[in-house]
Amino acid sequence: MAESGRAASAWAFEPLDRPWLDVAGEPVQFPVARVWCVGRNYAAHAREMGGGPTAGQPPAPPFFFLKPSTSLVAGGGAVRYPPATSLLHHEVEFVVALAGGGRNIPPGTALDHVFGYAVGVDLTRRNVQTEAKRAGRPWSMAKGFDGSAPCSAIAPSAVIGHPVSGRITAAVNGEIRQDGDLSEQIWSVAQVVARLSELVELLPGDLLFTGTPAGVGPLGPGDQLDAAIEGVGRLAVRIMPAA
């Protein structure tokens, strides 16, 4: 199929289909561009990972990393235990879906670019991340592997508004491990969108995973992960044996 005026015969091979997410309650799909992630946006999680601001000091600006769009697992479901992994961790996250983009977006207008919100899980090869930190190397292989970004359908902001509070949880085999509130985020959605737009030009279809509360922990083959955000949605993921 031709795209942007380019003849199909001009491709060296057939391009991959663009990933997408369902839109809750609507017969349309949301086309995904890129998957951005915010690191350490909850103070309690930052502390459990050995970081975070000390008493009386302001928090550092948000920092970001990128997952490839091929890491997306639309709607959750079965996810294979990744190779080269001895410690796989779950991180439940509030996901922002953008319908608009641009550079240097002011915080006061940032929410105008938001299409809606979803429940996501940032699956992390913690053993790989720990080694990368120790060696001063990038986190790419710890965060950006296949199936590392399960995500629920998107709840449109036109329906649910722009949540600033609400319980966010992750349970493994029925046991609650992560239990926080969106109000505990260090940086608001508007602040995160504005800051990221100072670093890159945001695109319609971009997703922003906005960080995780405390309580991250291990997952193994056969585990059932159930994530939820009050007023936004739910996501179920089953960890399958490695291929």
What domains sit in the chain, N to C, each tagged with a CATH number? 17-52+59-240 (3.90.850.10)
What is the secondary structure of 61-107 as a DSSP string?
A: PPEEEEE-GGGEEET-EEEEPPSS-S-EEE-EEEEEEES--BSS--G
Q: Of 54-58, 186-190, 196-200, which gets the smallest average pLDDT?
A: 54-58
Number of CB atoms found within 10 A of residue 238's CB = 14
User: 1: pLDDT confidence band, cut at 50, 70 and 90?
Assistant: very low
* Whether pLDDT at 50 is above 70: no
Number of CB atoms found within 10 A of residue 234's CB = 13
Residue 219: both structure tokens together: 């997952």
**Residues 85-132: tens digit of each pLDDT:** 999 999 999 999 999 999 999 999 999 999 999 999 999 999 999 999
**Residues 170-189: tens digit of each pLDDT:** 999 999 999 999 999 999 99
pLDDT at 56: 60
What residues contact residue 239 under an 8 Å CB cut-off, 6+ apart?
A: 79, 80, 81, 88, 219, 220, 221, 222, 223, 224, 225
pTM for the full model?
0.92
CB 210 within 8 A of CB 181: no
pLDDT at 54: 56
E strand residue ranges, the chain? 20-22, 29-31, 35-39, 63-67, 72-74, 77-80, 88-90, 92-98, 114-121, 124-125, 149-151, 155-156, 167-172, 175-181, 207-209, 217-219, 224-229, 233-240
